[in-house]
Amino acid sequence: MKGPGMTRKEVLESLRDRPEVSVLIAGGGINGAGLLRELALQGVDALLVDKSDFCAGASAASTRIIHGGLRYLENGEFRLVREALRERNRLLENAAHYVRPLPTTIPIFSWTSGLFSAAGKFLGLSEQPSDRGALLIGIGLSLYDLFTGRQSVLPAHQFKSRQWSLNLRPELNPEIVCTALYYDASISYPERLCLELIQDAEALSPDVRGLNYVSVYGASRHAVVLKDELSGELVSVQPRIVVNATGAWIDFTNRALQRTTDYIGGTKGSHVVIDHPGLLAATRGQMLYFANADGRICIFYPYYGRVIAGSTDIPVRDPEASCDEAEVDYILASLRLVFPSIEVNRSHIVFRFCGVRPLPRSNAATPGQISRDHICAVLPAGGDTDFPVYSLIGGKWTTFRAFGEQVADKILAALGRRRIASSVHLPIGGGKGYPRSESETDAWLDAVQEKTGLPRARLVTLLDRYGTRAEGVALFIAMGADSPLRHQPEYSRREIMYLASQERIVHLDDLILRRTILALLGQVNGALLEELAGIIAPVLNWTPQQASGEVQRTAQILKERHGLSAEQLARAHSPKAC
Ligand SMILES: Cc1cc2nc3c(=O)[nH]c(=O)nc-3n(C[C@H](O)[C@H](O)[C@H](O)COP(=O)(O)OP(=O)(O)OC[C@H]3O[C@@H](n4cnc5c(N)ncnc54)[C@H](O)[C@@H]3O)c2cc1C
């Protein structure tokens, strides 16, 4: 399997001749992708497969916050918070193109409430979530600052008086007693960062490869049967170790691997994306983080001219959950608690998304109390199969690198090999050489403008979208006649052709949901889908029938999973030019 230059079909063919691989990773979410890079770094040959697109599961449904997890302090998860804060700071350094500081305001409605409940929860005496007062929040934020200590790259927390807070945001609920301001980080393009990890892994080692639309389908004593989800063909591989990183599907995948487990007790979480200039302005560029009337945490924050709001936390069995009407009501009611005078309703929602957290099965009384820590559960070789299965349960987006490092160390020990490199300071994808200051940005823009002749404003956009990989995109764009998309001029035809040719796009929805944020921002309509399919069809050798099938498939996904109405899909968007 000599990866980089080969197509997915060629890789699958090559596996028929040489089915042996040291590590097979099932699942191309953030945990599978992070581990693949970690193994590539150690020179271990590995194959990653995902039944769908890369990063199409929970990893695409996260709140997009890279955080220590302030709330987990109440559950006494100090180790997790310490690790997550360390990883947050590392992502600010290694993925500076997508991970950026996010100032966060907590509106606070009492001075002392929650103290007894939190102490009770901490001591295992109480299980119900409750409102959190200023004192309790102050203790949590002080611990947060303490845990980051001298390695902190973000400012420490501050409390702001009621009057100061209302002066800054007159829309805030006047019942607040004060607000607190602290810093975490947000990630603008998690789906792209996940793909970058896979591409980096492949660039590090010719014996490492990631394939989308290939599932783990079955197993025999020595082999795992993979299914090409495009052709339906089966191919067997002979791994020494199988890693099951299929998130909420872990128990289903173990069953396909001839193992019975009951590891996962997932909870679904939904978000809505809101197009509402008044709400956007009221955020003042910050995240609002608060406890709902029932004590559950809700957030909303500005995102490229929209507001992302969520999330829910509801136990489910089906990993294919979607956002339902009751969840939308819940999120809208939460917004009213913070900004009672701002009217937000369903007509402002341009997109919904939902995913299932792959949490460990638990007897906790409320979903909020289930640990968000990660566990690698090992089923040794034996019984019906000759290979062990390592299941990656739980974890946060934020902690993927640490989780991958810990699992890689277990794998190295099992293979009798030694760690040869660390990912602690390894930049990811377009985070390599990413400019950190205004003068560095100017120098980068000057250099790429000189090479490509593209307008500076265009390069600024590309740098935001692709980090320093924007240079490759710009060079490709400059190699031929280009024009803005008719139905979304913020993108251009050659930019879309680049994504189709370089970024493993198999279906049209890969492009609008995961290579770009077009769907998330509510910028997709039927006319745009037709236009995009027309551009990528020749690149991917689609027949006219395939192209129109892709348009229908994508419209269906947008309706069924993301709550778009037929009217929204038909509505023409009024875009800005690129
Ligand atoms: C609503 C919500 C909000 C969250 N918010 C945050 C946040 O703000 N910050 C944070 O740090 N974390 C957050 N998380 C947690 C984080 O997103 C998840 O823990 C993490 O993404 C899990 O990644 P994973 O790779 O284990 O699983 P997934 O991303 O679900 O990946 C599993 C993959 O396995 C594939 N698969 C399934 N079956 C098979 C098979 N048979 N063969 C091959 N492939 C298969 C699926 O297609 C999928 O791509 C949130 C999670 C949710 C759901």
Query: Rounded to whole angstroms, how far apart are CA atoms 553 and 162?
Result: 50
Average pLDDT along the chain = 93
For the CA of 310, the closest atom of ligand 1 is: 1
Query: What is the pLDDT, as a whole number, of residue 497?
Result: 98
For the CA of 245, the closest atom of ligand 1 is: 26
Ligand 1 test: best mutation among 249, 296, 371, 373, most atoms within 8 Å of CB?
249
Query: What is the pLDDT, as a whole number, of residue 4?
Result: 57
Would you say residue 393 has pLDDT above 90? yes
- Cα atoms in the 13 Å half-sphere on the side-chain side of 410: 21
pTM exceeding 0.85: yes
Would you say residue 358 has pLDDT above 90? yes
Q: Ligand 1 mean position to 62 CA, how many Å?
A: 8
Query: What is the pLDDT, as a whole number, of residue 128?
Result: 58
Query: What are 175-203's pLDDT values in tens digits?
Result: 999 999 999 999 999 999 999 999 999 99
Query: What is the pLDDT, as a whole number, of residue 374?
Result: 92
Would you say residue 71 has pLDDT above 60? yes
Reported as a pLDDT band with limits 50, 70 and 90, residue 126 is low
Q: Ligand 1 mean position to 524 CA, how many Å?
A: 24
Q: Ligand 1 mean position to 490 CA, how many Å?
A: 29
Closest residue by CA, ligand 1 atom 26: 247
445: nearest Cα among 431, 433, 435:
435
Say what the alpha-carbon torsion angle 68, 69, 74, 79 is, to the nearest 10 degrees.
Answer: -40
Query: What are 406-421's pLDDT values in tens digits?
Result: 999 999 999 999 999 9
Reported as a pLDDT band with limits 50, 70 and 90, residue 571 is low
Would you say residue 577 has pLDDT above 60? no
Question: CA-CA distances (angstroms) from residue 76 to 122, 132, 222?
Answer: 6, 16, 43
Reported as a pLDDT band with limits 50, 70 and 90, residue 363 is confident
Closest residue by CA, ligand 1 atom 1: 269
Would you say residue 3 has pLDDT above 70? no
Query: What is the pLDDT, as a whole number, of residue 481?
Result: 97
Residue with tokens 């999973």: 561
Cβ–ligand 1 distance for 62 under 6 Å, the answer: yes
- Dihedrals φ, ψ of 166, to 5°? -75, -30
Query: What is the pLDDT, as a whole number, of residue 118?
Result: 60
Cβ–ligand 1 distance for 28 under 6 Å, the answer: yes
Would you say residue 129 has pLDDT above 70? no
Question: CA-CA distances (angstroms) from residue 93 to 62, 75, 357, 385, 428?
Answer: 21, 29, 26, 42, 10
Burial degree of 151 (CB within 10 A; 0-12, 13-18, 19+): exposed
Q: Ligand 1 mean position to 249 CA, how many Å?
A: 10
Choose between 271 and 568: higher pLDDT.
271
Q: In angstroms, how far apart are the furthest CA atoms of the chain?
A: 72
Cβ atoms of 81 and 72 closer than 8 Å: yes
Question: CA-CA distances (angstroms) from residue 148 to 352, 404, 424, 572?
Answer: 34, 21, 16, 47
Q: Which parts of 46-107 fold into alpha helices (H)? A: 78-94
Query: What are 442-480's pLDDT values in tens digits?
Result: 999 999 999 999 999 999 999 999 999 999 999 999 999
DSSP-assigned beta bridge partners for residue 377 = 391
Q: What share of the chain is helix, strand, coil (3-state, %, to 5)?
A: 45, 20, 35
pLDDT over 70 for what percent of the chain? 95
Query: What are 267-321's pLDDT values in tens digits?
Result: 999 999 999 999 999 999 999 999 887 778 899 999 999 999 999 999 999 999 9
Neighbours of 329 (CB within 10 A): 11
DSSP-assigned beta bridge partners for residue 455 = none
Over residues 380-399, the mean pLDDT reads: 93
Cβ–ligand 1 distance for 29 under 6 Å, the answer: yes
